[in-house]
Structure 1
């Protein structure tokens, strides 16, 4: 399986497979900010952040969408830099953002999202989960044509974005992705069996990696973190977005090949396996 996936990745996502320069440092691989983790949802933020860290992002900041910081340190990954969303949104050196993983639908979360769009027009932004619900319910100023905007809905979130039913989305997933991309001038990652990736121009790619083991809580947070990581590292959107989706599914397939899942596969296992697969497909210097 790995040989087959290595050939595919090196053909279709060569930027994902590049070895690291010998003279690289943490600044070489970007800085990612994550706005997530409202009340009782800190785990969603940590899954996204750990996934981004293990995809090789140089620095990962987490801004919890709460009035006070719920954690001083992630004891599993103390490399993560934790803060409140309000304080994190004052930083100027963040090149890419992920927003939404368990961030909640509170006025604070809404204000954080509006501030993100206003202050960081040149940064890549990935919206997942609650950020998509907020986007469907409020009129944000989305003047974000200077950097990629990525929306990662599951079918129910896609239905809210388009004001239709989940069944309508599933009848024609390609068309639904095109409509979302057209409406928001964004990349769309319509999750589910054979995830659909659509560019702002309406170009469709369908992913064929993955298995039912991904049908568990937290795997969407992991995917959002992985997409943000690839964008933060300067991989072009065409390869970063589809490549992260492919790698996320390939990690689940790798776990099954190792006797882990699909039953009982966890999001934490997926993010570790994604690091393993990323290194296995990397061209040797």
Structure 2
């Protein structure tokens, strides 16, 4: 297995200037499903990250019986729906599921429907969706049949997926990310210090060196999911979108730390603005 450092040269499609005749339909429609009762912030963070990463249209699908808010006040560009309403749409370019989804029986039903609905589109699973995969064999089987799957576990979620301990994951992170990718025929991000990216059909492991301890804060993973999902919706292939999302996420944290004089108190809600800046700056530098 070859090991490389994740860097912008690996994902040139992310830094291409936009055509002059672009419109919102050019850059895809992302559906993000999660945000159960008491966890609305997770899906708001992911959706905000998606719009700042340049997605044409973003739907936030709350796993609640009624919407917890009529609009996201700071970002009315994000369209809101209950999860079951999004699951009947036919115009979704990519899906993200799991951010604050919950672990109840209704969440199982929602995830099963998402897995079935999205078979021909990129699908990123994070957080509660990963825990449900580890607990429910029927969901794991469906996920293994998906042809465009991205998984973004932290070490404890990775341990659940493989049925081993978190200590085992941390003792051999390289083998762990490869095992998950092969088990689910997926592109996998194993989050943590120097996050790892590995795809089942590419025996090259990418280690990411952007980022800092400021990312160790609630909601950081939700932002990463929104960034990767947005890039997938824009038509960037899963591999480039995943590598780019991980790098941009870390680079945004590095930029913010340089602006605030350190890493303490960095907020997840600040990351999307920095992701937008980093991506636009890189495009301008390539012109």
- Whether TM-score is above 0.5 comes out as yes
Task: Return the offset for 1:270.
Answer: 1.1
Task: Tell whether the 8 Å contact from 1:121 to 1:143 is kept in structure 2 after alignment.
Answer: no
Residue number among 123, 133, 137 corresponding to 2:131 in the alignment: 133
Q: Distance in 1 between matches of 2:177 and 2:55?
A: 28
Instruction: Name which of 89, 93, 96 aligns with 1:91.
Output: 89
What is the 5 A alignment of 1:72-151? 72-139=70-137, 140=139, 141-142=141-142, 147-151=147-151
Partner of 1:4: none
Aligned partner of residue 98 in structure 1, secondary structure:
strand
TM-score if structure 1 supplies the norm length? 0.94
Distance 1:80 1:203, change over 3 A: same
Query: What residue is the counterpart of 1:184 in the other structure?
Result: 184
Moved over 6 A (4+): none
Secondary structure, aligned partner of 1:70: coil
Q: Structure 2: any 5+ residue segments left out of the alignment? A: 1-6
Tell me what 1:265 maps to. 266
Q: CA deviation at 1:69?
A: 1.6
Provide the rounded CA distance (Å) in 2 between the counterparts of 1:144 and 1:49: 26
TM-superposed deviation, 1:144 = 6.3
Question: For 1:195-210, what aligned pairs fall within 5 Å after superposition?
Answer: 195-201=195-201, 202-210=203-211
**Distance in 2 between residues matched to 1:215 and 1:71, nearest whole Å:** 28
Is residue 121–residue 144 contact of structure 1 (8 Å, CA) maintained in 2? no
- Assess, with a 3 A threshold, how the Cα gap between structure 1 residues 143 and 160 changes in structure 2: closer, same or farther: closer
* Alignment CA distance shift 1:68-1:95 (3 Å): same
Determine the C-alpha separation between the residues in 2 that align with 1:261 and 1:121. Answer: 43
SS in 2 for 1:74: coil
Contact persistence 2:52–2:272 (CA under 8 A): yes
The TM-score normalised by the length of structure 2 is 0.93
Distance in 2 (alpha carbons) for counterparts of 1:68 and 1:111: 17
Contact in 2 for aligned 1:34/1:49 (Cα 8 Å) = yes
| 1:165 equivalenced with 2:169 (yes/no) | no
How far apart are residue 272 of structure 1 and its match? 1.1
Structure 1 gaps of 5+ residues are: 1-7
Q: Deviations over 1:157-207 (max 9, x none)?
A: 000111110000000101000111111111110000000101023431111
Alignment match, 2:215: 214
Q: 1:191 to 1:95 in 2, by over 3 A?
A: same
Query: After superposition, where does 1:215-254 map in structure 2 within 5 Å?
Result: 215-254=216-255
DSSP-derived class of the 1:103 partner:
coil
Distance apart, 1:18 and its partner CA: 0.6
1:3 paired residue number: none
Q: CA RMSD in A?
A: 1.4
Please tell me whether the aligned partners of residues 122 and 238 of structure 2 are also in contact (alpha carbons under 8 angstroms). no
